[in-house]
Structure 1
Amino acid sequence: MLEEPTNCSMCCCTTLNKILTLAFMVVLMFGILCGNSLTLAVVLGTKHFHTPQGYLKASLAVADMSVGILVVPLSVYAEIRLLLPDAPPGWTARDSQHTRFHPCILIGPVFAGCTLVSITTAFLLTIERSIAVLKPLHKDAVITRRRTCMLIVCSWTGSFFLALSPLIFSSEIALEYNACSRMCNYALGAAEFPSRAWHILLLFPAFDFTLLAGTVVTNIISFTTIRHHSKKRRRLAQAGCQSTSGPTFSDIKAAKTIGALTLVFTASFTPVAVFVVGNVTGKTWCNFSFFAFWILAASSCWNVIIYSVRDQKFRLRARRLLVFSKIKDSP
C-alpha cells in the first residue's frame, strides 16, 4: 500500500490554495464541455465542414470532451471530498493494486488515451493540410472521407492500446490518484523500479516526441512552400499576370490555423513528456507535475478558441448557433 504523501504541490498545501485549485478545475471543466460541444455542433451541423478536415476536428473535439466529462470531474469530486472534515475515499491514498474498486482504472487510461488521440489527430490534420499545400491538384484524390474515417478509427484504437499497455504488459505498474498532480497517474506498485516497467512507461514520451517532431517538421515544410507561393503570386501580380497553380487562399488559411493548433498542443504536451522522463529516473517534481498535467488538461479547450480566432466561417456559424439558442430560450 502507498504511504500517505508527506509533500504536496504548492497549490494544494493550504485551504485557500485548495479552494482556488478546485475553482480552477470547475471552470476548466465547464470550459472544456461548452467549447467542444460548440465545436461539434458547428462541425456536424454545417455542410461546409463535412470534409476530411472537419471529421478530424470532430474526432479531436470528442477526445477533448471526454476529458471534460470523465477526467476533470473525478479530480473535482476527489478535491471536494478531501476538503470535507469526514474521511476521504480510500482510493485517494491507495493505488489500484490495493483497492477492490479504483476509479483511476477507468480514468487513467481515458486521459492517456484521449491525450494520445489528440496528438495523433494534430499530426493527421498537419498531414492533411500539407498535402493540400504541396499537392493541391491531387488533394481530393488523396484525401478522401473514407480514408480519413479509417485513419480516425486507427488513431483511437492505437492510442487506447498504447494507453493500456502499461497495465497489460507489466504487473508492477498500477494507477493512483496522485497527491501532486491531483489526477490519476500511472505509478509503480513495487518498491524497486524494474527495467521492463521503465521501458514501458517511456513509450508515452517516445510516442509524443516522435509525433510532435514529425508535426513540427511537416508544418515547417508547408509554411516554406506557402511563403514561396506567396512571393511568386506577388511577382506575378506586379507583372499583371495571374497564378493558377499552387494552394488556394482557403488552403493557406486552414494550414495556418492547424499550425497554430499544433503550436499550442506542442507547448501543452511537452511538459508532461518531460515529467514522465524525469519520473522514471527517480525525480518527484511535485509542483512541476501539477502544472504539467493541468496545462495538458487545459489544452482540451484551446481548439474552439483557435478556430474562432482563425476561421471566419466557424466563427460566424458559432455566433449564429449561440444567438439562436438565446432567442429560443428567451420568453
Structure 2
Amino acid sequence: MAIFVSALQQGDYFIYICIFCGLLSVLIMGGNLLVIISIVYFKQLHTPTNYLMLSLAVADLLVGIFTLPFTIILFVTSYSSVQGILCKVRSGLDLILCVTSIWNLCFISVDRYYAVCQPLRYRSEITGRVIGMMILASWTVATAIGGTLTFQSPDIGQSSTMCVLFQNKMLKSLLLGTLFGFCIPAIIMSAIYIKILLVAQRQACKILNMSKSGTTVSRSERKATKTLAIVMGVFMICWVPFFITISFHAVSNYSTPPSVVHSFKMLGWTNSMFNPCVYAFFYRHFRLTFGMVIKGKIFKNDFSNMRL
C-alpha cells in the first residue's frame, strides 16, 4: 500500500513538472520571440547594443524550444535507450544555452557600464566589432563548458527516473564549469552594477547641487536603484540556488536528492522568461514594438523605418 501511494505521489509530481515546463516553455518562447521580431524588423533597433539583446533572446528562445520539451519527454517516456540519448542531448543543450544566456547578461552589463560611466567613450569603445566578439565569446565559452561536461560524463542516464548529467568522478570538471559558467560572470555583473549605481548616485548629487531640483533627482535615484535591484535580484534569485546546490551535490558525494536539483534547475530556467521583461520592457520603444507585433500591425503595413 505504501509503495502504491508513493507511486501515485511520484506520478503527481511528474504531472506537475510537465505542466510547469509546458507553461514555462510557452512563456519563454512568446516573450523572446517578441524581442527577436522587434529587433530584426524595426531598423531603428539595429544597434550594436540591441544585437547583444538579440543574442540573449535567441539563447533563451532555444531553452524554451528544446530544453523544456526534451525535459517533458524524459519524464513521460518509458524506453531506457531513448532516455539515455535524450538525456545526453538535453543536458548538453541545457548547459550550452543557459551558460550562453548568463554570459550574454554579463556582456550587457559591460555595455551598460560604458553607457553610464564612460558616455564619451561609449561609441568609440562599444562598436559593432566589439559586440560581435562579445557574442562569439558567449557562445564559445558556453559550448566549451557544455561539451566538456556532457562528453566527459561516462554514464549519463536515469537516476531515480530523473535525467542526471553530473556523475561521479566529475568533481573537478563540474566545479570548473560552475566557476566559468556562473561565478565569474556573476561577480563581473555584481561589480559593474554596483559601480553603475554609485556613479549614478554621484551624478545625481552633482545635479542636485547645481539645480536644487530635489524632487526630480530623488525620483531619478529611486528609478535607477529599482532598475538595478531588479536586474541583479532576478538573476541571483533564479540561478544562485541551483549553482550552490549542484556544487554541494558534487562535494557531498552526490547526496542531494535529484528532485531538489531539478527544482532549482527549473527556477534557473525561469530567468529565460524574465529576461525579456527585465531587459526590454524597461525601454519605451520595446514596449511600443511589442504592442505593434502583438496586434499584428507589422503584417498589414511596412513600419520597419518607423521612428520609435
Q: Answer yes or no: is the 8 Å Cα contact 2:92–2:146 preserved in 1.
A: yes
Alignment partner of 1:37 is 2:33:
yes
Give the deviation of 1:324 after TM superposition: 2.1
Deviation digits for residues 193-212 of structure 1, max 9, x if unmatched?
43xx2111111221211220
Partner Cα distance (2:90, 2:164) in 1: 9
Q: Answer yes or no: is the 8 Å Cα contact 1:205–1:274 preserved in 2.
A: no
Identity of aligned residues (%): 21
1:314 to 268, 281, 286: 286
Deviation digits for residues 242-262 of structure 1, max 9, x if unmatched?
xxxxxxx9xx98997576334
SS in 1 for 2:157: strand
Partner Cα distance (2:246, 2:268) in 1: 13
Alignment partner of 1:205 is 2:186:
no
Q: Which residue is 2:248 aligned to?
A: 278
Alignment partner of 1:175 is 2:175:
no
Q: Which residue is 1:234 aligned to?
A: 208
Give the deviation of 1:62 after TM superposition: 0.7
Partner Cα distance (1:211, 1:230) in 2: 28
Deviation digits for residues 272-301 of structure 1, max 9, x if unmatched?
211221121222233421221100111111
Partner Cα distance (1:301, 1:311) in 2: 17
Partner Cα distance (1:255, 1:112) in 2: 32
Partner Cα distance (1:116, 1:278) in 2: 19
Q: Which residue is 1:75 aligned to?
A: 71
Structure 2 matches for 1:212-291, cutoff 5 A?
A: 212-238=186-212, 260-281=230-251, 282=253, 283-291=255-263
Give the count of matched residue pairs.
Answer: 286
Give the deviation of 1:233 after TM superposition: 1.1
State the AA in 1 paired with 2:75. E
Length-normalised TM-score, structure 2: 0.83
Partner Cα distance (2:145, 2:225) in 1: 29
Q: Answer yes or no: is the 8 Å Cα contact 2:197–2:224 preserved in 1.
A: no
**What are the ranges of 5 or more consecutive residues in structure 2 without an aligned counterpart?**
214-219, 301-308
Give the deviation of 1:185 after TM superposition: 3.6
Q: Which residue is 1:166 aligned to?
A: 149
Give the deviation of 1:91 after TM superposition: 3.7
Residues 59, 308 of structure 1: CA spacing in aligned structure 2 closer, same or farther, 3 A cutoff? closer
Partner Cα distance (2:297, 2:245) in 1: 42
SS in 2 for 1:103: helix
Partner Cα distance (2:7, 2:92) in 1: 25
Give the deviation of 1:132 after TM superposition: 1.3
Residues 275, 178 of structure 1: CA spacing in aligned structure 2 closer, same or farther, 3 A cutoff? farther
Q: Which residue is 1:3 aligned to?
A: none
Q: Which residue is 1:85 aligned to?
A: none
Residues 199, 308 of structure 1: CA spacing in aligned structure 2 closer, same or farther, 3 A cutoff? closer
Give the deviation of 1:18 after TM superposition: 2.8
**What are the ranges of 5 or more consecutive residues in structure 1 without an aligned counterpart?**
1-6, 82-87, 97-101, 240-248
Give the deviation of 1:34 after TM superposition: 1.0
Residues 71, 12 of structure 1: CA spacing in aligned structure 2 closer, same or farther, 3 A cutoff? farther
Q: What's the RMSD between the two structures over aligned residues?
A: 2.9
Alignment partner of 1:296 is 2:268:
yes
Give the deviation of 1:80 after TM superposition: 3.4
Q: Which residue is 2:57 aligned to?
A: 61
2:99 to 116, 119, 123: 116
Q: Which residue is 1:89 aligned to?
A: 79
